[in-house]
Each structure stands twice: as structure tokens, then as C-alpha cells.
Structure 1
Amino acid sequence: MDKKKSLTTGEVAKLCDVSIPTIHKWIREDRIKHFKMPGSGKIRIPRDAIYQFMKSHGFPTDEEQNTMNILLICGEEHYNKKFANAICKSDVYQCNIANDVFAAGMIATQESPDIIFVDLSLTGVDNKNFCSSIRGTVNNFALLIVAISGAFSGSQKKKLTQYGFNEFLELPLKATSFKKKISSLLKKN
């Protein structure tokens, strides 16, 4: 099903594997948030509301099964290739690569990644403004932004956390440990 913002009662019935009269009953009982279209009065159910309803009532959702976590790696080209090759072959992640902060912003806006990895040694990274700028444009409230550097002092981590970075990775980093870190971040999130 496409990514429409709202669904008809028939689409919701198909999604929940129930009849349309059952959906109408749930609507009359105010169990599902809904609205009526101006003019026609036809009922529409916001996508978020139906998935929230399905989750709270134990329905399996296709959306959960087909969700692929989106990653964005922003760093030097040689760095990106090393880790992206190890991760992009996975069926679990969609991996995007940016070689500069401008490209990272563009990709983040289009793809709404779950995690952004930022190499702090990359030219043009303004640590103070990067996170707020990305968070202001990306439509993903659970977004994690991970700083990557050769080493972090305690005060540097504190400052970067204030700027909006969630996690820190120190180089050198092996592809296998990078994959494990991604898994643990997604579980926490």
C-alpha cells in the first residue's frame, strides 16, 4: 500500500483482516481516531492512528515487517566506502552516503534516516549547528546522531551532547563492530 496520510475504511478493513462493518463499529465506539472529508462526509483514518490501534491490540502490521532502517554516513570518501560496503549489503539497512554536510542535509531531508553517523574531522562540520539544523528538517523524532572521531575527552562528549549528538564512536573501528553498534543503537531507540 502506498504512503497515503489517511486510509479509507475499506483499506483499514483489509489491513486489519476484518470486515468494513467491523471498522464502522470501531469508529462508532471511538476506538479508532478518524475524520470526515469536507463535502462528501466520507470517513478517513489517519495512517498513524490505525497503526497505533493495531499495535495496541496485537495486530501484526505489514509496515513493521517491511520497515528497513535508514542510515546516513557523513564522512570522507575512503571512510564511507569501507563501512558502507559492509553494511549496504544487508537487507536490514538502507545505507546512504554523504561526503559533505550539505549533501548530508539534503539526504537527511529526503530519506528521514534513523541514524546519522558524522565524522567530526570532515571539513565544514559545525558541531554546534549541525544537529539543530538536521533535527529541524528531518521528520524523525527518534533520529540518533552519532559523532565519530579518533578520540573523545569527557568534556568534549559533554559539549557534543549539549549540541545534540546522542552517541560517540572512536576510530579505528572495524566493520563488524560498526554493525554491532548499529544494532544496539536501533534496539535502544
Structure 2
Amino acid sequence: MSEIKLLTTGQAARYCHVSQATIVNWIKRGKLKAYATPGGHHRILLSDFLAFLETYKMPMDSALRTQSRPRVLIAGDSPHATMLARTLQGGGRFDVALSSNGYEASAQVVRFGPDAVVLDMTGATLDCLALCRWLRASPEGEAISVLAVGDPEDEEAARTAGADAYLPSAAVADRLEAKLEALLESERNRGKG
């Protein structure tokens, strides 16, 4: 499971060059999303802080932005998997890793800590369904979003194995980034609820 990046109100205040009381006021007024710890202190998800900065057109340094990029592991051994990785890397919105076999993919889940795994089922000899079942059964993978990509006839098997979403390979060029972002947003909302 990937590490959740959090900020304290003091860290957010230093970054914005305002007082801690101002940050708390923004939280109370609903301008900045945060949650309260059992001790009554506020914590802010880095992704929510970045959204706040963008909404209010506040400056954002590149180091802060890259810390918040979702991590995506592409699992597949076909040239199509390499194309998927390049597509996501080219957009600059995701940190991407590629693995071409089940052993490497399971090691990457632990080492890379992806937020999502894209299973490339197009012409793959990698057993994507077994990898998906392993993700759903293991503590390391249960919180990871899984997007399967393949031919339309593969969708039912992918969902039965535990994939959260499915994207036909014919639509991948136009919809991969948007589908991943929607899947990750849905997972964030489910985790907060």
C-alpha cells in the first residue's frame, strides 16, 4: 500500500505564508478539505492541499506537485504494455513503473507502492487474472485500484478476478488517463466515507 501524504496545519501555514489560525479558518469555512484526528488536530491530504492551491491560484513549487502524483504500475509483457506506460509518462500526471511478469509485478507492489495497477490483457502471456486475484487477496494489494485493459470479451473475467474497472484496448489512447483519474478519485471518496 502506498504511503498517504499528509500535512499539518502548521506545514500548510508555512507553505502559504499565513498563520496557522488562518489555515484552521479556511478549513472551518470549507475552503480547504481536512480531517480531524482523535486528538482534535487537523490533517490535510497533500492532494487536497494541491487542489486548494490550484482553486485559489496560489503558487505551487514543482517539488510539491511531484510528491502528489499518483503511482501507477503497468503489468503486462506485450508491446502494448510499453505503449501504456509511455502514454502515462508522457502526460506527466503519474509516476509509472512497468513490470513484465507476475513475480516482478508482486515485488513492485511492495517496493513501488502503486495507487493503481493497470493490467494489460492484450496478447499477454502474463497471467493478469492471477495477479489481480493475488492483489485482492493480499494485504499489500487490497487497497490498490485495479484497471484491466483488453478485448471486450475479457471484461467479465477481469471483473470476476477483482478488477475495479475495465477499459477496452481500442479506447485506451483517448481514455486511459481520464479513466485512471476517475478510478483513483472514486477510491479516495470511498476511503473518506
Q: Please, what TM-score do these two structures have when normalized by structure 1?
A: 0.60
C-alpha displacement of 1:72: 2.3
Q: Please, what TM-score do these two structures have when normalized by structure 2?
A: 0.59
Counting only pairs closer than 5 Å after superposition, residues 1-189 of structure 1 correspond to structure 2 as 7-15=7-15, 17-22=17-22, 33-34=36-37, 45-48=42-45, 51=48, 65-66=65-66, 67-109=68-110, 110-119=112-121, 121-125=123-127, 127=129, 129-135=130-136, 136=138, 137-138=140-141, 140=143, 143-148=145-150, 151-153=151-153, 156-165=154-163, 166-170=165-169, 178-189=172-183
Q: Which has the higher helix share?
A: 2
**Which residues of structure 1 form unaligned runs of 5+?**
37-42
Q: 1:24 to 1:81 in 2, by over 3 A?
A: closer
Structure 1 Cα separation of the partners of residues 70 and 4 of structure 2: 20
Letter in 1 for 2:80: Y
| Cα RMSD, aligned residues only | 4.2
- Per-residue displacement from partner, 1:84-112 (whole Å, max 9, x unpaired)? 34443332232211110121122233231
| 2:189 aligned partner | none
Q: Is the 8 A contact 1:27 1:34 kept in 2?
A: no
% identity of equivalent residues: 14
Q: 1:23 to 1:139 in 2, by over 3 A?
A: farther
Structure 1 Cα separation of the partners of residues 119 and 14 of structure 2: 38
How many residues matched?
166
Which of 1 and 2 has greater Rg?
1
C-alpha displacement of 1:145: 1.9
Residue range with higher mean Cα deviation, 159-168 or 86-95: 86-95
C-alpha displacement of 1:126: 5.9
Structure 2 Cα separation of the partners of residues 50 and 92 of structure 1: 12
**Which residues of structure 2 form unaligned runs of 5+?**
29-33, 184-193
